[in-house]
Amino acid sequence: IKFDPGTLLLSTHRLIWRDQKNHECCMAIPLSQIVFIEEQAAGIGKSAKIVVHLHPAASNKEPGPFQSSKNSYIKLSFKEHGQIEAKEMVELSKSIANKIKDKQGDITEDETIRFKSYLLSMGIANPVTRETYGSGTQYHMQLARQLAGILQAPLEERGGIMSLTEVYCLVNRARGMELLSPEDLVNACKMLEALKLPLRLRVFDSGVMVIELQSHKEEEMVASALETVSEKGSLTSEEFAKLVGMSVLLAKERLLLAEKMGHLCRDDSVEGLRFYPNLFMTQS
pLDDT tens figures, 32-58: 888 877 777 766 666 677 888 888 877
Nearest-angstrom CA–CA distance, 75 and 43: 15
pLDDT tens for residues 69-100?
778 888 887 664 444 444 555 555 556 556 55
Which segments within 168-219 are labelled E, that is strand?
199-203, 209-213
Nearest-angstrom CA–CA distance, 129 and 139: 7
Residues in the chain: 284
pLDDT band at 208 (very low <50, low <70, confident <90, very high): confident
pLDDT band at 122 (very low <50, low <70, confident <90, very high): very low
pLDDT band at 227 (very low <50, low <70, confident <90, very high): very high
Q: What region does 233 belong to: left with phi over 0, alpha with psi -120 to 50, or beta?
A: left
Q: What's the mean pLDDT in 130-134? A: 64
Predicted pLDDT at 104: 47
Is residue 139 over pLDDT 90?
Answer: no
CA distances from 4 to 72, 77, 144, 181, 208 (A): 20, 10, 39, 31, 45
pLDDT > 70 fraction of the chain, expressed in percent and rounded: 74
- Residue 28: phi and psi, rounded to 5, are -140, 145
Predicted pLDDT at 277: 92
Contact 252, 246 (CB under 8 A): no
- Which is nearest to 153 in space by CA: 219, 89, 111, 198? 198
